[in-house]
Amino acid sequence: MAEIKLDYVNSFTDARGKRRHQFRRKGHKRVTIKGRPGSPEFMDHYHALLEQTGGPLSVAEIGASRTKAGTIDALIVQYSKHDDFKMGLAKATQTMRRPILDRFRDFKTPSGRRYGDNRLATMGKPSIKAVLEGKTSAAQGNWLKTIRGLIAFGISQGECSVDITAGIKKLRGVKSSGHMTWKPPQVAQYRERHALGTTAPLALELMLNIAARRADAHKIGRPHLSFNADNQVNVLTWRPQKTVRTTGKSLSIPVLPFLQEALDAMPKSTRQNGDLKEAVLTFLTNDYGKPFASAAAFGNKFADWCVAAGLEPVRCDDGEVRNFRAHGLRKAALYTLWKLGGTPLSSLTRPRSSWSCTS
């Protein structure tokens, strides 16, 4: 089977005839990636290394040396390297916006001229409306945010003086019923299939207990656990990813009996790090005993656990077929916490609330 080609991965056969794969990026230490290129464990490690070393190269960066000064091509290259983009946006937002910027610069006018070859100051509202045409409401929203970020940067650099997206709104989309909300039958079915002492039930109990997004759940572990002497209960305290760039507030949730039972049933876990063994700090780990490389990696694994539990897809009132997944569990958890504590749902979904937050 032919190996897939990946940026920064050098594959070779060592003296013993074993195939090895090294991640090599200028300015960073070489790291050996175990497994077969394309396998889940290999790709999890590869994507984690990409993020740790500056993220993947965009089309704009690859063609940086061939861009013409003053054009949208040149502005995108400059923007993608600027702190406004690299420091001002979350990693997930950068990952989402890079391909949009690449497609925006390659979009062509009716005469066949690429947008990237033009100056931003020469663009008008019709150019923006043309690039949005045919896209869904959600896609239009993402494109508008991305283009507005680029234009704001262009204004700061003196490349233009007006935000041509002002007044342009995305389509009003059809109200979706969202992710399938878990109910007691689904929770019971999942618990029956997955035995305590493994990661699968711990993942369910963790998200059902604290209503965390998957982006937070896969990072939570022992450093976030403390004992509240006043109430004689363990408490999980963490700063949600959503608040890191806004309020900076932390969320505290008491550990309920089901989660405590799942935690107590887990074996002591360690991972090999060179010649030393150090404890894994996250509660949730992959098949190799290591923390999940990303929220997506955890979400994919949780989907596998749902399938193994026999949770069937459901056709909703809007005609869409949906599966029971991690986010639907969060919706159920919010309702459960509200019922247990009599707390307004808004205080659970918005960590700036005084009830659920600490500075």
For the segment 227-245, what is each residue's pLDDT rounded down to a tens digit?
A: 988 888 899 999 988 877 7
Q: How far is CA 80 from CA 6, 86, 313, in A?
A: 21, 7, 40
The DSSP bridge partners found for residue 22 are 10, 32
The DSSP bridge partners found for residue 112 are none
Mean pLDDT within 273-279: 49
Say how many CA atoms lie within 13 Å of 148 toward its Cβ.
12
For the chain, the straight-line distance linking the first and the last C-alpha, in angstroms and rounded, comes to 54
According to the model, what pLDDT value does residue 152 have? 95
According to the model, what pLDDT value does residue 95 have? 85
Alpha helix positions (H), 30-136: 40-52, 59-62, 72-81, 83-86, 91-106, 125-132
Does the pLDDT of residue 261 top 90, yes or no?
yes
The rounded distance, in Å, linking the Cα atoms of 83 and 80 is 8
Residue 305 — left, alpha, or beta (φ > 0 → left; ψ -120 to 50 → alpha)? Answer: alpha
Mean pLDDT within 274-302: 81
The DSSP bridge partners found for residue 26 are none
Mean pLDDT of all residues in the chain? 83
Here the tokens at position 220 are 């939570």
CA 4 vs. chain centroid, Å, equals 24
pLDDT tens column, 159-172: 988 899 999 998 88
pLDDT tens column, 289-324: 889 988 888 999 999 999 999 999 888 776 778 888
Distant-in-sequence, close-in-space partners of 151: CB < 8 Å, separation ≥ 6? 120, 160, 163, 164, 165
CA nearest neighbour of 245 among 89, 45, 79: 89
Q: Are 248 and 238 in contact (CB under 8 A)?
A: no
